[in-house]
Amino acid sequence: MPRYDFDMFTIGAGSGGVASSRRAGSYGARVAICEELRVGGTCVLRGCVPKKLLVYGSQFAEGFADAAGFGWTVVPPSFDWPALIAAKDKEIGRLSQIYINMLNNSGVEIIDGHAVLVDPHTVEVAGRSYTADNILIATGSWPEVPDIPGIEHVISSNEALDLKELPRRIVIVGGGYIAVEFAGIFNGLGSEVVELIRRDELLYGFDDDIRVALGEEMRGRGVEIHPRTVVARIEKNAHGYSVVTTDGRELATDLVMYATGRWPNTKGLGLTEAGVRINEKGAIVVDEWQRSTVPNIYAVGDVTDRINLTPVAIAEGRAIAETLFNDNPTKMDHANVPSAVFSQPPICAVGLTEEQARREYGEVDVYMARFKPMKNTLSGREERTLMKLVVDPGTDRVLGCHMLGPDAPEILQGLAIAIICGATKKMFDQTIGIHPSAAEEFVTMREKTVRPDKLAAD
């Protein structure tokens, strides 16, 4: 008779937890997965998927506006927010059911409720105890907001996906990818958008040239961005809300959205009581095998607060299943992970930023191209695409690829393979471009970018 009820008990049925559980089940392991909300997790239910659907919806305004330059006469369009939300809800419901079906087909038992660790091998759900040889924590993250007067009046990205009506005016607080993406969504659908950020530029952590260019393009679309701004309080009034900043400015709006960060979902799980170490932000500390400080308890995805991307969580989860149940010890490689922001226009990056490369390699070669996409020559749109390569002059290896512009995520997914393979600038130069396309610029950049400040320093 087995010592434990299950070989693996997974807490959290998001992308990472489902991927690991499915693969483990396919290898014959006895697996259970517990979810207290709904199968699908952040990505499917309140993140990547519904947000991208709203991004698509908001881009039609641009298409209608550009059509005249190509000879189309477009009847003034109208937009129905409830219809978009209903269509979005139908799609995420379909995807959630697909996740359920995949788990069932892999022999994974689905348990509803809130799970709490009793000890390293025991989990309690709704008064019932389950034992497992291995436990996987995949509970993701949740939006966090600061403790300031009036914070009870704000919404997060969770609520933004389910609003009953489209706000005429919205203030978005935050300069990260969630804030930037929702600024584009609401702006594209016709809302007046003000974005408040603490730093000088958007998207801290991305390449500086891309960050500056994105701010310029968003302002060109009508998004009002206030840098170096901190909110002191939020006041509700008869006409909506007033956002008061620490420097005394007051902004009137119909809705306030906070996107100032997400924190790991580790509260109330009994982790510390079971001996699992968490850091100051509440994230589970794991080693290169995804193991916590308790050897049979693993963690993947946002709950570890490393690279908080769905494909990373999936890869981490699958690595655990391979290691434990397929005699195939596997570590997730966190280097050169590509990432995209579905801003408008979108950005994408793989590898090192220029700043990171200079810190690690010293002097680097930089190649950049900024141009008006062919489509914009007839549409009259003034937006420009920016592409950038960061190269190690010692080895000629391309250390980073960065792009702002239409289809950036689609283009850089392929270039990510080249970066993983250690491609050199010479290899890029020897590659024949696809003409006419924006992507060909990555293989036609020949002139190095000269930084005036670098020349002065020399």
CB atoms within 10 A of CB 17: 30
Of 212, 230, 260, which residue constitutes the final position of a domain?
A: 260
φ and ψ of 411, to 5 deg: -75, -45
Of 279, 297, 325, which residue constitutes the final position of a domain?
A: 325
Clarify whether residues 181 and 241 are in a common domain: yes
CB atoms within 10 A of CB 21: 31
User: Which candidate in 121, 239, 402, 435 is catalytic?
Assistant: 435
* Predicted local distance difference test score (pLDDT) of residue 248: 94
Of 260, 287, 304, which residue constitutes the final position of a domain?
A: 260
Q: Rounded to the nearest 5 degrees, what angle is found at the Cα of 397, between the Cα atoms of 392 and 401?
A: 85
Instruction: Tell me the per-residue pLDDT of 81-128, one tens digit each, with 9 for 90 and over.
Output: 999 999 999 999 999 999 999 999 999 999 999 999 999 999 999 999
In this structure, is residue 333 part of a structural domain?
no
Give the whole-angstrom CA distance, residue 332 versus residue 320.
9
Clarify whether residues 158 and 256 are in a common domain: yes
Clarify whether residues 97 and 216 are in a common domain: no
Clarify whether residues 10 and 123 are in a common domain: yes
Decide if 435 is catalytic: yes
* Predicted local distance difference test score (pLDDT) of residue 161: 95
Q: What percent of the chain is predicted at pLDDT more than 70?
A: 98
Clarify whether residues 254 and 267 are in a common domain: no
Q: Taking a C-beta distance cutoff of 8 angstroms, is the pair 8, 21 a contact?
A: yes
In this structure, is residue 64 part of a structural domain?
yes
* Predicted local distance difference test score (pLDDT) of residue 458: 40
Clarify whether residues 74 and 214 are in a common domain: no
In this structure, is residue 180 part of a structural domain?
yes
CB atoms within 10 A of CB 426: 12
The count of structural domains within the chain is 3
Instruction: Tell me the per-residue pLDDT of 1-37, one tens digit each, with 9 for 90 and over.
Output: 689 999 999 999 999 999 999 999 999 999 999 999 8
Residue 456 in this model has a pLDDT that exceeds 80: no
Q: Is 84 left (phi over 0), alpha (psi -120 to 50) or beta?
A: alpha
Instruction: Tell me the per-residue pLDDT of 203-226, one tens digit each, with 9 for 90 and over.
Output: 999 999 999 999 999 999 999 999
Q: What percent of the chain is predicted at pLDDT more than 90?
A: 97
Clarify whether residues 137 and 178 are in a common domain: no
Give the whole-angstrom CA distance, residue 193 versus residue 260.
16
The residue assigned the tokens 């901190």 is 230
Q: Where are the alpha helices (DSSP H) in 150-190?
A: 157-160, 177-188
Q: Where are the alpha helices (DSSP H) in 221-327?
A: 310-325
Q: Which amino acid is at 273?
A: E
Mean pLDDT value of segment 53-59:
97
In this structure, is residue 456 part of a structural domain?
no
Instruction: Tell me the per-residue pLDDT of 387-434, one tens digit each, with 9 for 90 and over.
Output: 999 999 999 999 999 999 999 999 999 999 999 999 999 999 999 999
Q: Which residues contact 238 (CB under 8 A, 6 or more apart)?
A: none
Helix (H, G, I), strand (E, B) or coil at 381: coil
Clarify whether residues 137 and 177 are in a common domain: no
In this structure, is residue 32 part of a structural domain?
yes
Can you name the residues that pair with 448 across neighbouring β-strands? 367
Q: Which amino acid is at 380?
A: G
Clarify whether residues 180 and 302 are in a common domain: no
The DSSP line for 68-86 is GGGT---PPP---HHHHHH
* Predicted local distance difference test score (pLDDT) of residue 455: 41
Residue 457 in this model has a pLDDT that exceeds 70: no
Residue 435 in this model has a pLDDT that exceeds 80: yes
Residue 136 belongs to domain with CATH number = 3.50.50.60
Mean pLDDT value of segment 245-274:
96
- Going by C-alpha positions, the residue among 375, 348, 48, 55 that lies closest to residue 187 is 55
In this structure, is residue 336 part of a structural domain?
no
Helix (H, G, I), strand (E, B) or coil at 193: strand
Averaged pLDDT of the chain: 95
* Predicted local distance difference test score (pLDDT) of residue 450: 75
Q: Structural domain of residue 404, as residue ranges?
A: 345-449
Instruction: Tell me the per-residue pLDDT of 132-152, one tens digit each, with 9 for 90 and over.
Output: 999 999 999 999 999 999 999
Burial status of residue 34 (CB atoms within 10 A of its CB: 0-12, 13-18, 19 or more): buried
In this structure, is residue 111 part of a structural domain?
yes
Q: Which amino acid is at 296?
A: N
Instruction: Tell me the per-residue pLDDT of 310-351, one tens digit each, with 9 for 90 and over.
Output: 999 999 999 999 999 999 999 999 999 999 999 999 999 999
In whole angstroms, how large is the CA radius of gyration of the chain? 24
Mean pLDDT value of segment 187-214:
97
Alpha-carbon 358 to chain mean position:
26
Mean pLDDT value of segment 147-158:
96
Clarify whether residues 250 and 365 are in a common domain: no
Task: Indicate the pTM of the whole model.
Answer: 0.95
Q: Buried b / exposed e across 217-234, counting CB within 10 Å, b at 16+?
A: bbeebebebeeebebeeb
In this structure, is residue 455 part of a structural domain?
no
Residue 452: pLDDT band (50, 70, 90) is: low
Clarify whether residues 37 and 130 are in a common domain: yes
Clarify whether residues 193 and 272 are in a common domain: no
